[in-house]
Amino acid sequence: MLVALLFLRAVLPRRRSIAGTGEMVSVCVALGNAGYSAPVSSDEELMAAYIAGDKAAFRELFQRYTPLLQRAMARDLRSPEEANDLVQQTFLHLHRSRLDFEPGRKLKPWIFTIALNLKREYFRRNKRRYETSLDDERVAEPFEGPRGQERSDAARETERALRMLPAEQREVIELHWFGGLSFPEVAEAVGSTVAAVKVRAHRGYVALRARLGDGVPDPEQVHAGKPSVAESK
């Protein structure tokens, strides 16, 4: 009997309330994307609404996360088609894993974990490494900005320096800066501790500054030779 109860508990999805109110989140999406409008709902509320069967909530999540995921994928992949395919797979896995999403959990690190797992799997399957993207011609060749302007040398150098970082450092920095994840969220997404990802990020910053030269020096060097206020007390 106990075993049967345990199985039932595991199999049946838990009742989920949205933002503690129990109300269904209303998301209005006009067809054809014209006049798109949606009341501001948190990602978690939208996810809960989607689990409850609201397909418009899924579309809103798609709209919110696609640009972020595309950037995260496109940075390491050679073609937009590959990046697009992985983004699509991320949402497909989000759909398949939706019943694993527990109330009180943050969606952003969860979705990025799925995306990163897929990206790693893609690289393993294709026997490629993140580091090989150093040879990517996009790094070496100057390319144009969104409005057709040539990117500055500094930005290109930054990108080059970023690509030269070890994958684990770059991943943390990119998730933090480009993905907009806080360090606790980054830690959750990469399956590590907050302290560990901060250390990785710090090493990445140091390496970036070392490679970028005088323009962006090591912060620790700024205080070198001068005791801090706390130390001088």
Partner 1 sequence: MDCSQVRDSFISGSPLSGAQLDAHLAGCPQCKALFEQDAELGRGLAAQASAALPMSDALRDPRRGTDFFGQLEQELGRETGPRAWLRSRPSRARFLFSLLPVLLVVIAGGLLRQRPDFAQYPMARVGLLLCVYFVAIALAFAKTLSELPRREPLRDYLPLLGFALAVPILAGFAPATEISRHAGAEGALSCFGYGALLTLPVALLLWAFDRADKPALRTVCLSAAGLGLSANLLLELHCGNGNPTHVLLGHASLGLAWLAMWIAVRGLSRA
Q: Which of residues 123-142 bind partner 1 (CB under 8 A)?
A: 124-125, 138
The residue among 9, 21, 62, 81 whose CA lies nearest residue 45 is 21
- Element at 177 (helix H, strand E): helix 167-177
Return d(Cα 179, Cα 46) in angstroms, integer: 19
Binding flag, residue 67, partner 1 (CB under 8 A) = yes
Return d(Cα 28, Cα 31) in angstroms, integer: 10
Q: What angle do CA 114, 115, 118 make, to 5 degrees?
A: 85
Alpha carbon separation from 233 to 34, 133, 227, 228, 229 (Å, rounded): 62, 48, 9, 9, 6
One residue of 17, 26, 97, 193 binding partner 1 per CB under 8 A: 97
Label residues 61-80 b or e (16+ Cβ within 10 Å = b): beebbeebbeebbbbbbeee
One residue of 19, 26, 42, 92 binding partner 1 per CB under 8 A: 92
Looking up tokens 């838990």, which residue turns up?
14
One residue of 99, 134, 140, 210 binding partner 1 per CB under 8 A: 99
Binding flag, residue 151, partner 1 (CB under 8 A) = yes
One residue of 50, 75, 108, 130 binding partner 1 per CB under 8 A: 75
Q: Considering beta carbons, is residue 18 or 115 the nearer one to partner 1?
A: 115
Binding flag, residue 53, partner 1 (CB under 8 A) = no
Count of residues that bind partner 1 according to CB under 8 A: 83
Per-residue interface string for the shown chain with partner 1, residues 4-33, x marking contact by CB under 8 A? --xx--xx-x------------------xx
Q: Considering beta carbons, is residue 18 or 77 the nearer one to partner 1?
A: 77
Stretch that binds partner 1, among 16-24, 38-46, 127-135, 186-194 (CB under 8 A): 186-194
Residues comprising the chain, all counted: 233
Looking up tokens 């690509």, which residue turns up?
163
Q: Considering beta carbons, is residue 45 or 76 the nearer one to partner 1?
A: 76
Q: Considering beta carbons, is residue 24 or 123 the nearer one to partner 1?
A: 123
